[in-house]
């Protein structure tokens, strides 16, 4: 004769015993830390929420700083090209001197043999001076913007690398002080 199949009640009882044994092993286990008080639960939750907030904030700010650096670099390159284009042509004086030398060599009676009266400097109009001054000022401001963006990226990296030593409470407290300082700086501590 065949053995009768295990009844549903017996199967559920065996499963319940097995689950009870697994839970008992987990309760006695020292592998996983269990929060023993409300404070540690609070700091663990704070760490989790603040990490999510900081990751989002740092990603957005880092992208913004990258965009500023890109545009400052492009603007500096274009601005430099315009500044170079506005420079006086040093070839003008050279061309004048070569023309006088050719005239002297060909024996032209109208050639001036004394070239000491030729000036190697040229006078600039006031509009040219103003345009060059504005070009250099805008170049300086774009370089200053790039410098500020680099400092901002460095600050973001130091903010991200908050104190990695100490208890969870000490690390979270330091992170909160950094965030409060940043908010105070940005809002002018009103």
Q: Report domain extents, the chain.
A: 40-118+126-187
CA angle 20, 26, 31 (to 5 degrees): 170
Q: What is the pLDDT of residue 180?
A: 82
Q: Summarize pLDDT for 20-29 with one digit per residue, the tens.
A: 777 677 667 6
Q: Hey, what are 20's tokens?
A: 């009870």
pTM above 0.75, yes or no: no
Q: Find all residues with CB under 8 Å of 37, minimum gap 6, and list them.
A: none
Token pair, residue 65, equals 């700083």
Cβ–Cβ < 8 Å for 73, 150 = no
Is residue 114's pLDDT more than 70? no
Instruction: Read off the pLDDT of residues 31-86 as tens digits, 9 standing for 90 and up.
Output: 555 556 777 888 888 888 888 888 898 999 999 999 999 999 999 999 999 988 88
Q: Distance of CA 128 to CAs 8, 76, 120, Å? A: 99, 20, 18
Question: Mean pLDDT across the stretch 115-139?
Answer: 79
């Amino acid at each position: 004769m065949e053995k009768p199949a295990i009844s549903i009640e017996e199967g559920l009882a065996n499963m319940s015993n097995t689950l009870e044994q697994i839970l008992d092993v987990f309760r006695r286990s020292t592998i996983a830390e269990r929060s023993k008080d409300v404070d540690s639960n609070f700091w663990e939750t704070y760490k989790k929420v603040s990490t999510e907030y900081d990751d989002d904030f740092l990603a957005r700010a880092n992208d913004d700083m990258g965009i500023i650096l890109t545009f400052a670099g492009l603007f500096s390159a274009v601005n430099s090209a315009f500044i170079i284009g506005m420079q006086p042509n040093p070839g003008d004086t050279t061309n004048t001197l070569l023309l006088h030398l050719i005239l002297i060599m060909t024996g032209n009676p109208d050639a001036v043999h004394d070239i000491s009266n030729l000036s190697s400097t040229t006078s600039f109009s006031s509009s040219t001076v103003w345009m060059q001054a504005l070009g250099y000022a805008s170049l300086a401001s774009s370089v200053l913007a790039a410098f500020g963006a680099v400092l901002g990226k460095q600050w973001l990296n130091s903010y991200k690398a908050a104190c990695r030593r100490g208890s969870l409470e000490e690390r979270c407290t330091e992170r909160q002080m950094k965030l409060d300082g940043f908010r105070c700086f940005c809002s002018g501590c009103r």
